[in-house]
């Protein structure tokens, strides 16, 4: 352990010395450009040669790896300086040379079967490259490091290398994009940042798919895919709303396609995309899809888009029994519900002038979609494996669905009433809402009475919900509608609610009377 710590410290200090030779000496005017570069090359070659010589001796593994890794990382920094500072090489040629240097280093690491060797090369070059240059060419050199190590991952199961080859390029690109948002970057700069984000994502996706075909259970490859997707999730901020939505939508389509391929039974076996890769791809694609929804909608129409996406994911989750799709659908449904609640809060629903100013056909459509989400969600939960749960959990889910559905129903009727632009549209909407409340309460009571002999728990829940909803409808009828409604609307509300109460009460009394008579007339077993 002591030898490894000393060697790691030696690698760091030596590489800092190389950077000083290339950068600080140039700033101070020491030597000329040619001596500095030549000295760096000679020093790097000497370190690699010494490492190879030491590695072949007894106990020389740690020293050989450290020396050779330092030499290769130093040579990489030399190429960065020649390309970015002195401009002796064109960017394309400089990147090609850097790729060759890195490939030589990782090839030697594979030959020595040493993950620390490859990690030292990549970390040393990645950490000190920003000291040499901070221009956009730095992103290209870091992407070269990410690309050069992909073949290694196909042969060796080196999880740490997965991270260190991807993280530098991701962090540098995300930081560059974040800094660009504080200024008005030139079009060329935006284009190159966008290109860097695409390159990182493509290398991450292709590399991950190639790796998991050889090692199906490589979870680190899937996590690296999620890491490589980060720049593509951030880069849309540099564009206008519509272009950003297109970029996010296309990226979402790619990632969700990967997730769908992993979930399809026959295609999943053919393309060999494991479930953990599908989960990461689904999460990244869903975030991009959320960005697209926000980009193409306004405040009033945003819940419509979110709830439509939720219905789609719920349909897929229920059809194919996919919990991950159900989880994504739940997130979109929760976000859509929050936005809808902000657009149609209780104050707006209860105050006529606020309702007429804010509510309309968009909030009505969003509320109807919320009811659709609840209905499809109930169907989906019944089909998902392991979602039966305890009676308490089921009761809680039904209560939440009922409360949200009741609110959405009220928002839909009031919004539709306002959208008609009639003088009494707001009042008509509330009158219909009260009637529908009582209709839902009656349906719950009748359902509970019908299942009284089949399932006591379901019957108890339905009856309790129906009675509570009946009480809520009566409270609304006497405290709100009586003061708000007038004329025939008030008469209609009271008549319909009254008839439904009579129907529910009659059926309630009849069922329990029949049950009592059955119990009384049942023969008793004679004692022995």
Question: According to the model, what pLDDT value does residue 500 have?
Answer: 76
What would the two tokens of residue 330 be? 């739940």
Question: According to the model, what pLDDT value does residue 149 have?
Answer: 85
Highest mean pLDDT among 65-79, 304-318, 389-403: 304-318
Question: According to the model, what pLDDT value does residue 489 have?
Answer: 64
What are the φ/ψ torsions at residue 327 (nearest 5 degrees)? -65, -45
Kindly indicate the confidence band of residue 514, based on its pLDDT and cuts at 50, 70 and 90. low
CA dist., res. 330 & res. 314, Å (int): 8
Averaged pLDDT of the chain: 80
Q: Decide: residue 474, CB within 10 A, 0-12 exposed, 13-18 middle, 19+ buried.
A: middle
CA distances from 412 to 348, 421, 432, 472 (A): 13, 15, 10, 18
Name all contacts of 444-452 with Cβ < 8 Å and 24+ positions apart: 444/469, 445/470, 445/504, 445/507, 445/508, 446/504, 446/507, 449/507, 449/508, 449/511, 452/511, 452/515
Burial pattern 201-213, b for ≥16 Cβ within 10 A else e, equals bebbbebbbebbe
Question: According to the model, what pLDDT value does residue 387 have?
Answer: 59
**Residue pLDDT, tens place only, 217-251:** 888 989 999 999 999 999 999 998 889 999 999 99
Percent of the chain with pLDDT over 90: 21
Q: Which of 27-31, 96-100, 131-135, 461-465 comes out lowest in average pLDDT?
A: 27-31
Task: Considering only residues 95 and 196, tell me which one the structure prediction assigns the higher pLDDT.
Answer: 196
CA dist., res. 149 & res. 105, Å (int): 10
Does the pLDDT at position 77 exceed 90?
no
Mean pLDDT to the nearest integer, 326-332: 91
**Residue pLDDT, tens place only, 367-423:** 999 999 998 988 888 787 765 555 666 667 777 888 888 889 889 998 998 888 887
Question: According to the model, what pLDDT value does residue 182 have?
Answer: 83
Torsion sign over Cα 320, 325, 330, 336: negative
Q: Which of 29-33, 192-196, 248-252 comes out lowest in average pLDDT?
A: 29-33
Mean pLDDT to the nearest integer, 266-292: 85
Question: According to the model, what pLDDT value does residue 322 have?
Answer: 84
Question: According to the model, what pLDDT value does residue 372 have?
Answer: 92
Mean pLDDT to the nearest integer, 1-17: 55
Q: Which of 294-303, 394-403, 454-463 comes out lowest in average pLDDT?
A: 454-463
Q: Which of 47-61, 93-107, 205-219, 316-330 comes out lowest in average pLDDT?
A: 47-61
Mean pLDDT to the nearest integer, 87-112: 83
Torsion sign over Cα 40, 192, 293, 251: negative
Question: According to the model, what pLDDT value does residue 141 have?
Answer: 86
Question: According to the model, what pLDDT value does residue 526 have?
Answer: 43
- CA 93 vs. chain centroid, Å, equals 38
Domain definitions of the chain by residue range:
1-132, 149-296
Residue-wise DSSP of 387-404 = ----HHHHHHHHHHHHHH
Cβ-proximal residues to 211 (8 Å cutoff; 6+ apart), any chain: 153, 154, 218, 221
Mean pLDDT to the nearest integer, 479-483: 69
Mean pLDDT to the nearest integer, 426-452: 80
Backbone φ/ψ region at 113: left (φ over 0), alpha (ψ -120 to 50), beta: left
Question: According to the model, what pLDDT value does residue 268 have?
Answer: 60
Q: Which of 16-25, 167-176, 222-231, 380-389 comes out lowest in average pLDDT?
A: 16-25
**Residue pLDDT, tens place only, 111-160:** 888 888 788 788 877 877 776 676 778 888 889 888 988 888 888 888 88
Question: According to the model, what pLDDT value does residue 253 have?
Answer: 94
Mean pLDDT to the nearest integer, 435-451: 80
**pTM metric for this prediction:** 0.78
**Residue pLDDT, tens place only, 247-277:** 999 999 999 999 888 877 666 667 788 888 8
Task: Considering only residues 113 and 453, tell me which one the structure prediction assigns the higher pLDDT.
Answer: 113
CA dist., res. 117 & res. 111, Å (int): 11
Does the pLDDT at position 32 exceed 80?
no
> Please, where are the H alpha helices in 112-240?
115-132, 137-148, 150-155, 159-181, 187-214, 219-228, 230-234
Cβ-proximal residues to 80 (8 Å cutoff; 6+ apart), any chain: 94, 98, 125, 129, 132, 133, 138, 141
Q: Decide: residue 8, CB within 10 A, 0-12 exposed, 13-18 middle, 19+ buried.
A: middle
């Amino acid at each position: 352990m002591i030898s490894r710590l000393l060697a790691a410290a030696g690698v760091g200090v030596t590489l800092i010395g190389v950077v000083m030779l290339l950068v600080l000496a140039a700033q101070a005017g020491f030597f000329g450009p040619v001596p500095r570069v030549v000295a760096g090359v000679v020093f790097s070659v000497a370190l690699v040669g010494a490492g190879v010589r030491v590695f072949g001796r007894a106990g020389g593994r740690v020293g050989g790896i450290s020396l050779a890794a330092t030499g290769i990382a130093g040579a990489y920094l030399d190429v960065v300086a020649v390309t970015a500072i002195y401009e002796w090489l064109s960017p394309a040629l400089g990147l090609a040379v850097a790729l060759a240097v890195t490939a030589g280093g990782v090839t030697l690491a594979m030959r020595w079967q040493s993950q620390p060797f490859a990690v030292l090369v990549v970390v040393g070059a990645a950490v000190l490259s920003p000291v040499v240059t901070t221009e956009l060419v730095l992103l290209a050199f870091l992407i070269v490091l990410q690309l050069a190590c992909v073949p290694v991952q196909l042969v060796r199961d080196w999880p740490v290398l997965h991270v260190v080859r991807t993280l530098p390029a991701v962090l540098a690109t995300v930081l560059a994009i974040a800094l660009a948002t504080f200024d008005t970057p030139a079009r060329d700069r935006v284009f190159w940042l966008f290109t860097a984000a695409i390159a990182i994502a493509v290398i991450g996706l292709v590399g991950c798919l190639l790796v998991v075909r050889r090692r199906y259970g490589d979870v680190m490859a899937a996590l690296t895919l999620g890491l490589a997707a980060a720049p593509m999730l951030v880069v849309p901020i540099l564009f206008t709303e519509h272009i950003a939505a297109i970029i996010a939508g296309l990226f979402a389509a790619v990632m969700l396609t990967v997730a769908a391929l992993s979930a399809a039974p026959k295609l999943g076996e053919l393309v060999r995309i494991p479930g953990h890769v599908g989960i990461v791809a689904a999460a990244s694609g869903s975030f991009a899809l959320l960005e697209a929804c926000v980009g193409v909608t306004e405040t009033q129409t945003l819940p419509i888009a979110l709830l439509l996406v939720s219905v789609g994911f719920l349909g897929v989750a229920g059809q194919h029994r996919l919990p991950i799709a159900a989880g994504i659908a739940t997130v979109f449904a929760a976000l859509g519900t929050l936005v809808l609640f902000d657009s149609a809060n209780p104050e707006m629903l209860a105050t006529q002038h606020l309702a007429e100013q804010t509510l309309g056909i968009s909030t009505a459509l969003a509320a109807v979609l919320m009811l659709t989400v609840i209905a499809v969600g109930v169907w989906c939960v019944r089909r998902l494996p392991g979602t039966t749960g305890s009676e308490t959990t089921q009761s809680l889910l039904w209560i939440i669905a009922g409360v949200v559905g009741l609110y959405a129903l009220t928002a839909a009727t009031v919004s539709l009433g306002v959208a008609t632009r009639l003088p009494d549209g707001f009042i008509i909407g509330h009158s219909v809402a009260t009637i529908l409340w009582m209709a839902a309460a009656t349906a719950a009571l009748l359902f509970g009475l019908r299942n009284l002999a089949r399932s006591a728990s379901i019957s108890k829940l339905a009856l309790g919900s129906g009675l509570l909803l009946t009480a809520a409808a009566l409270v609304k009828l006497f405290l709100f509608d009586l003061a708000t409604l007038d004329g025939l609307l008030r008469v209609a509300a009271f008549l319909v609610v009254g008839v439904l109460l009579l129907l529910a009460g009659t059926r309630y009394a009849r069922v329990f009377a029949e049950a009592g008579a059955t119990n009384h007339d049942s023969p008793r077993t004679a004692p022995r």
